[in-house]
Structure 1
Amino acid sequence: MLRPHKKLRKKEIKEDALVTFYFRFQKWYTQYHRQIQIGLGILVALCVIAVLMARSKREAEAKASGKIGIAETYYLMGDYSRVIQEMEPIVKTYSGTRSAGIAAYYLGSAYYAQNRYAEAEKYFRMVVDHSPHMPLFSASSLAGLAAIAESKGDFKTAAKLYEKAGRKYSTLFTAPFYLKEAIRCYLRIQNIEKAKMLSDEWIKKFPENPGMQEIQWLRETL
């Protein structure tokens, strides 16, 4: 006579499943433990490298900041050749730091002051392309590119760049000035419709700005 099968309880089923899983995992681990250890070693190494890189970047930033302060003094004195001499090594040596972005902006400004527009454009573009986290310097670099275009007689490009500097960084104190420059350049190329639109926008956005009277007068003449 066949004996009836013993009915397994849920707890026993779970325990049996866990035992099976454990032995399967143990077998898998034994087979691949070398690869696992190597993988963990690589992961730890990457974490250590990341920490060291962050520390190194902070130290580099501190060193570069001190040099930036000295170079800024030369800029305020109008000694643009010395600014270039001091700032170029900062851009090369401390690439990727905030100080390198600031140095690139001052290099663009110094070269612009010397009418060396190709070099100025190179560094202004460097700031625009690689330092979007620095709004003031990015906006000023866009305006620098606009000024270069204007100096070449390309008022259409200048207008667009001034407008971009004013719109993209609309919360900065420089926004009203850059948008006003955009209006001026649009008028220069006889784009009256665009000049009117920007003037109306300017009046709505900056009602307390000291330049309001000038913009209102300009708008009335269009």
Structure 2
Amino acid sequence: MCKYSKGIPIFGDSNATQFQKCLRVKMQTFCRDENLCGCDKSSKTNRNLGLRRLTHSKFERYNFGRNWKELGIMNINALARQLEDKIVELWDWVKDHVKETLITVGVLFVLLIAVAIFTSSGSRYAPDSELNYLVAISRYATGDTTASIQTFLKLVETQPKSPEAKRSLFYLGHYNLQKGALEEAERYFKRFLDSGLDDPFMKASAYNGLATIAVDKREYDRAISYLKKAEELNPFETYKAYYEYRMMKIYELKGENDKALEVAENFVEKYKEHPLFSEVSEEMRFLKGVKYVHEGSTLD
């Protein structure tokens, strides 16, 4: 059977000539099997293509009706493959930008939780404060910090005990951390943690922010303490793993390779599916090598 006898080529396909030959053979077979006569050879275009047309288009109805369905399936399969390729590309990008991705996803997750809470439950504070807060975080998520920060500040000033104002403290801390105003960021994060708001994920994110500030000040012990609190609070394993990764790096900055190795081994044992697994595994082998050089330990 001809290789291309069951499908039609996409225009521009290099195999179109071969397909035309296959189609011609198939049409001749169809004419004979159906006992049809009068295959039209008069068309110059058809002669040039090496194709024959049946006078009443019976072949077209028979053959192309079926093959157009097949082409639809082929197109769906092609789209599926393209989608799969895009997913793989996205995953490769995520693996190369794990830390940025986790931070971004964390902030967006906080935004989603905030929206869910304020749309599903009432508040004893002014409805306008809820609406203004939701508008502010949506603007903040899209990069409009000018208007959103003004709203956060106003909420903190006018409704300091409201959930909206307490959450605003977190975003003010995050905003100042992003622009490098570390003292202001630290002040807002601590005010948020002291506000009494019951939100484990947001609290964990605040402790992670404080850890970043502490590392910048070279207060490594304090940074590790903050990350341990974040790990205890955060309900998601992906972020727990990320905090352990950060602790490993901080122990290395302190020169405490044994503790860094301990954290790395714990990470590799618990988080085999995490995007940072390969990086931590390599770091673990390096730390074992350092230990071997200094102490003569085995490299298992």
TM-score class, shorter-chain normalisation, is 0.5 to 0.7
Partner of residue 150, structure 1: 215
Partner of residue 65, structure 1: 130
AA matched with 1:71: A
* Distance of aligned partners of 1:95 and 1:208 in 2 relative to their CA distance in 1, 3 Å threshold: same
AA matched with 2:124: E
* Structure 2 residue matching 1:60: 3-state secondary structure: coil
AA matched with 1:91: V
Query: CA shift at 1:170, angstroms?
Result: 5.2
Query: CA shift at 1:114, angstroms?
Result: 2.3
Contact 1:155 1:185 in 2 (8 A): yes
Q: Report the Cα distance in structure 1 between the residues aligned to 2:166 and 2:251, rounded to whole angstroms.
A: 30
Contact 1:90 1:103 in 2 (8 A): yes
Deviations 1:102-148 (A, max 9, x none): 21110001111222222111111122223452011101100111111
For normalisation by structure 1, the TM-score amounts to 0.66
* Structure 2 residue matching 1:162: 3-state secondary structure: helix
Asked if residue 116 in structure 1 is aligned to residue 181 in structure 2, the reply is: yes
Contact 1:61 1:99 in 2 (8 A): no
Contact 2:166 2:197 in 1 (8 A): no
Partner of residue 12, structure 1: none
Higher helix share: 1
Structure 1 unmatched ranges of 5 or more: 1-56
Partner of residue 175, structure 1: 240
AA matched with 2:257: I
Query: CA shift at 1:149, angstroms?
Result: 1.4
Give 1:20-99 correspondences, 5 Å limit: 58-60=123-125, 62-99=127-164
Q: Report the Cα distance in structure 2 between the residues aligned to 1:88 and 1:197, rounded to whole angstroms.
A: 43
* Structure 2 residue matching 1:59: 3-state secondary structure: coil
For normalisation by structure 2, the TM-score amounts to 0.50
Contact 1:109 1:144 in 2 (8 A): yes
Query: CA shift at 1:92, angstroms?
Result: 2.9
Of 238, 249, 270, which residue of structure 2 is paired with 1:184?
Answer: 249
Query: CA shift at 1:180, angstroms?
Result: 0.8
* Distance of aligned partners of 1:178 and 1:63 in 2 relative to their CA distance in 1, 3 Å threshold: farther
Asked if residue 213 in structure 1 is aligned to residue 263 in structure 2, the reply is: no
Q: Percent identity, aligned pairs only? A: 23
Structure 2 unmatched ranges of 5 or more: 1-121, 288-300
Q: How many residues align?
A: 166
* Distance of aligned partners of 1:153 and 1:63 in 2 relative to their CA distance in 1, 3 Å threshold: same
Partner of residue 58, structure 2: none
The alignment's C-alpha RMSD in Å is 2.2
Deviations 1:57-99 (A, max 9, x none): 8231743331122212332233434332110121233333332
